[in-house]
Chains A and B, each alone.
Chain A
């Protein structure tokens, strides 16, 4: 019998019916559905034992204590030990994987170039380290290295000479200090927020102003005038003229914070005028105390002094090493640039991304980034007692990175690697203070801890807390009466408080997937100012300041003070900005 086409169809028909009566087609449908849900591109979280590790966050000078939830060795989430963390702290563990993170750099080439340039320094030319977060052990290493070099200088932004004690204040007058937004240690500030009345003098309705008990809308740049006026060094009328407030408002504030009322006046960096006002209000030894740091080994005292950038002679620095690995306040580049020698100065920047000063440098050398870096964090501005806390690394840094203090120390022939341990030894030998550990929530006097255990505890995220310095004779600085401010030639560009940069990729939640934060490439201005500049909402424009030009997108906001532009990046801040239509 020959097989006909009909036979084949009949066979196929029988097979089809038979197949339906077997599990095969139903199983294939289910499997295909399951296969379609498991795209290979969707990552699977790694599994493993969940552990808690403790460290301190080194992204800003607050140095909050952090409990890291780790899968195996990898941190997957971070939480504050004493309360919440700021959004940078919450996402810090993602920074090692940031696309802009540098992993390689011309380290040996830079080392050779720096050594060469130092050797060729002429008379009057300097080698300088610019340390953006002074007071760390790494800062001491840099100072010791600069002392060894014959023309070495150590430059740092001016630090507040006092620490504030918010627990003692019943009224806080903040002169544009972002008290509720990245000033001091967030969890500590909010723990005592209900204990004081907050008056915020601020040119814009910042987040602190929005939640303050009273907002005084002052002219930008008039904070010091208000401080001098309240101290009686300017008349009410002069102060009113400079700040734009009414005399009645100023007198009312004066009465509120009056002498003996446990008032505290703060500004961003506790300037001399503000410190003098606090002393005048009787706050010395109560709401403000001398700023203390943890003890250092006595042989370190042979270190270069801390120099303020403003006192450095212009055009005198031949080699500048900028340690941007632990940033704090922002110094505008033009203030730095004019101190560089004319004709081919050598600038080397240590940073974990090229977004900061790296754009002006000959060499950008990559550093470890939190949570890879081993660094200590000096006491925060709202910490009356000295403390010593190490940002114990949670992850290993990649092979190509360099630690700034090791590089700088090797230029001077110093062995730096044990600096933290030497300092811990000095603290332990001092016998004062307590060791606070978070894993077991214990607080033990240092005298009862063995040296090795002390060092181990510090590396497991513990913290040494000393005693606040007793207020000694402190000559209150006399704030100078101000010359009348030049009327601004343009728009005043005000930036949000300095922030770790770049932030985690998840920050798109805050400015791209919502409008909670001003995006880094956006500026906000009053509609009238926008109209004057010929731009409107949504346009692209160029923001020009003496520090540079940026391409930005315009937002208009009728609640922004006329004459002021809000920007999100500290380098855009300026007293005279222009917005130019593209």
Chain B
């Protein structure tokens, strides 16, 4: 039997430049369509989203940081799994991954209300790609229809491919290097790292690490690092602080 794995990530906020490679790489890998004309940052599909936060000061005292937020793969009392009336959320004990099943979802969005990280996204519109761009869709991930919720599942299509490659060689354990989520692969600074939290040989759980909204007791598997105290303070706040203001979204 396979050893229990607990896949998680370590995100170094001091290395993230906010370039957005992770966001578009995720969209490419998971067949997420470009925004509908009416979409904005409240109803878009961004399975991983980089938030810009700052220390709240004005020029020239302002310092910014970029924090990528994706599904935190909560371990304890996974909020979204416990509220779903359709059992469309499945926590795999062998990998620790919280899997979202759009094919079972009926679109009640209870899970979106339950998720404290706002990491779940609803398909408000039919997915539409510009003519011809559907040729670039990834065959390892199924496109979703309108009316269902979707979210990051640690690039499960790549896990399937790694398992299949191992099976072809007669092995039941995958090579760790074969399973790398798209955001991790795309990050040019190496800010996002991925691996098995149960494996003592990687230092994903660095002593400097903190987790978002730890006080809620969700036991997330995404560990953030920063040497800057103000970043750690902002990350633990209830709402991100930013000096950028804009009138209500249209």
Q: Is A80 an interface residue (CB 8 A)?
A: yes
Question: Considering the complex, which residues of chain B in the window 98-142 have a beta carbon less than 8 Å from any beta carbon of chain A?
Answer: 103, 126-139, 141
Of the candidate stretches B35-43, B83-91, B170-178, B215-223, the one touching chain A is: B35-43
A180–B17 contact, CB under 8 A?
A: yes
Q: Is A26 an interface residue (CB 8 A)?
A: no
B132–A96 contact, CB under 8 A?
A: yes
B136–A90 contact, CB under 8 A?
A: no
Known: A94-B133, A205-B64, A217-B60. A537 touches B40 (CB 8 A): no
Name the A residues within 8 Å of B28 (CB-CB). 76-78, 90-91, 94, 506
What is the CB-to-nearest-CB distance from A61 to chain B, in angstroms, rounded to a whole number?
16
Q: Is B225 an interface residue (CB 8 A)?
A: no
Provide the A79-109 mask, 1 if CB < 8 A to any CB of B, else 0. Answer: 1100111110111011011110000000000
B41–A515 contact, CB under 8 A?
A: yes
Provide the A452-479 mask, 1 if CB < 8 A to any CB of B, else 0. Answer: 0000000000000000000000000000
B133–A97 contact, CB under 8 A?
A: yes
B14–A45 contact, CB under 8 A?
A: no
A559–B54 contact, CB under 8 A?
A: yes
Q: Is B182 an interface residue (CB 8 A)?
A: yes
A516–B23 contact, CB under 8 A?
A: yes
Question: Considering the complex, which residues of chain B in the window 39-62 have a beta carbon less than 8 Å from any beta carbon of chain A?
Answer: 39-41, 44-46, 49-52, 54, 57-60, 62
Q: Is A41 an interface residue (CB 8 A)?
A: yes
B136–A94 contact, CB under 8 A?
A: yes
A560–B59 contact, CB under 8 A?
A: yes
Name the B residues within 8 Å of A77 (CB-CB). 25, 28-29, 138, 182
Known: A193-B189, A515-B52, A555-B245. A205 touches B136 (CB 8 A): no
- In this complex, the interface size class of chain A, counting residues with CB under 8 Å from chain B, is 35 or more
Instruction: Give complex CA distance A186, B64 in Å.
Output: 20
- Which of A76, A80, A215, A537 has the most C-beta atoms of chain B within 10 angstroms of its own C-beta? A76
**Chain B residue, CB-CB nearest to A43:** B134
B130–A537 contact, CB under 8 A?
A: no
A558–B243 contact, CB under 8 A?
A: yes
Question: Considering the complex, which residues of chain B in the window 1-45 have a beta carbon less than 8 Å from any beta carbon of chain A?
Answer: 14-15, 17-21, 23-25, 27-29, 31-32, 34-35, 39-41, 44-45
What is the CB-to-nearest-CB distance from B221 to chain A, in angstroms, rounded to a whole number?
22
B34–A86 contact, CB under 8 A?
A: no
Instruction: Give complex CA distance A94, B57 in Å.
Output: 40
A181–B50 contact, CB under 8 A?
A: no
Q: Is A46 an interface residue (CB 8 A)?
A: yes
- Which of B23, B64, B65 has the most C-beta atoms of chain A within 10 angstroms of its own C-beta? B23
Q: Main SS of chain B's interface residues?
A: loop
B39–A210 contact, CB under 8 A?
A: no
Q: Is B190 an interface residue (CB 8 A)?
A: yes
**Chain B residue, CB-CB nearest to A508:** B35
A87–B132 contact, CB under 8 A?
A: no
**Chain B residue, CB-CB nearest to A98:** B130
Instruction: Give complex CA distance A562, B59 in Å.
Output: 8
Q: Is B169 an interface residue (CB 8 A)?
A: no
Q: Is A10 an interface residue (CB 8 A)?
A: no
B188–A84 contact, CB under 8 A?
A: yes
A46–B17 contact, CB under 8 A?
A: no
**Chain B residue, CB-CB nearest to A89:** B21
Q: Is A71 an interface residue (CB 8 A)?
A: yes
**Chain B residue, CB-CB nearest to A187:** B188
Q: Is A367 an interface residue (CB 8 A)?
A: no
A513–B20 contact, CB under 8 A?
A: no
Q: Is B246 an interface residue (CB 8 A)?
A: yes
What is the CB-to-nearest-CB distance from B149 to chain A, in angstroms, rounded to a whole number?
14
**Chain B residue, CB-CB nearest to A74:** B135
Instruction: Give complex CA distance A45, B141 in Å.
Output: 8
Known: A86-B21, A505-B34, A538-B246. A513 touches B39 (CB 8 A): yes
A558–B19 contact, CB under 8 A?
A: no
Name the A residues within 8 Å of B244 (CB-CB). 515, 524, 555-557, 559
Q: Which of B27, B50, B247 contacts A538 (CB 8 A)?
A: B247
What is the CB-to-nearest-CB distance from B107 to chain A, in angstroms, rounded to a whole number?
12
Q: Which of B24, B133, B145 contacts A42 (CB 8 A)?
A: B145
Q: Is A152 an interface residue (CB 8 A)?
A: no
Instruction: Give complex CA distance A80, B190 in Å.
Output: 12
B135–A46 contact, CB under 8 A?
A: yes
Instruction: Give complex CA distance A348, B152 in Å.
Output: 46
Provide the A48-69 mask, 1 if CB < 8 A to any CB of B, else 0. Answer: 1000000000000000000000
Name the A residues within 8 Å of B247 (CB-CB). 536-539
Q: Is A444 an interface residue (CB 8 A)?
A: no
What is the CB-to-nearest-CB distance from B132 to chain A, in angstroms, rounded to a whole number?
4
B64–A76 contact, CB under 8 A?
A: no
Instruction: Give complex CA distance A197, B153 in Å.
Output: 37
Instruction: Give complex CA distance A207, B15 in Å.
Output: 11
Q: Is A47 an interface residue (CB 8 A)?
A: yes
Q: Which of B32, B139, B187 contacts A84 (CB 8 A)?
A: B187
Q: Is B235 an interface residue (CB 8 A)?
A: no
Q: Is B248 an interface residue (CB 8 A)?
A: yes
Provide the B163-195 mask, 1 if CB < 8 A to any CB of A, else 0. Answer: 000000000000000000010011111100000
Q: Is B143 an interface residue (CB 8 A)?
A: yes
Instruction: Give complex CA distance A527, B245 in Å.
Output: 9
Q: Is B206 an interface residue (CB 8 A)?
A: no
Q: Is A531 an interface residue (CB 8 A)?
A: no
B23–A97 contact, CB under 8 A?
A: no
A509–B23 contact, CB under 8 A?
A: yes
Name the B residues within 8 Å of A208 (CB-CB). 17
B185–A84 contact, CB under 8 A?
A: yes
A84–B27 contact, CB under 8 A?
A: no
A510–B189 contact, CB under 8 A?
A: no
Q: Is B160 an interface residue (CB 8 A)?
A: no
Could you name 29 residue pairs across A and B whose Cβ atoms are closer than 8 Å?
A43-B127, A43-B137, A47-B139, A74-B135, A77-B28, A77-B138, A77-B182, A84-B186, A87-B20, A90-B24, A93-B136, A180-B17, A181-B19, A205-B60, A205-B64, A210-B18, A505-B130, A505-B133, A508-B35, A509-B20, A510-B20, A510-B24, A512-B44, A514-B46, A516-B52, A537-B245, A556-B246, A560-B59, A561-B59
A-B CB proximity, top 7 nearest = A513-B44, A538-B247, A84-B188, A559-B62, A508-B35, A43-B134, A45-B137
Give 13 A-B pairs besides A210-B63, A513-B46 with Cβ atoms closer than 8 angstroms: A37-B103, A44-B143, A48-B139, A84-B188, A86-B21, A90-B25, A97-B135, A207-B19, A512-B35, A514-B44, A515-B246, A536-B247, A558-B58
Residues of B at the A interface (CB closer than 8 Å) are 14-15, 17-21, 23-25, 27-29, 31-32, 34-35, 39-41, 44-46, 49-52, 54, 57-60, 62-66, 103, 126-139, 141, 143-146, 182, 185-190, 243-248
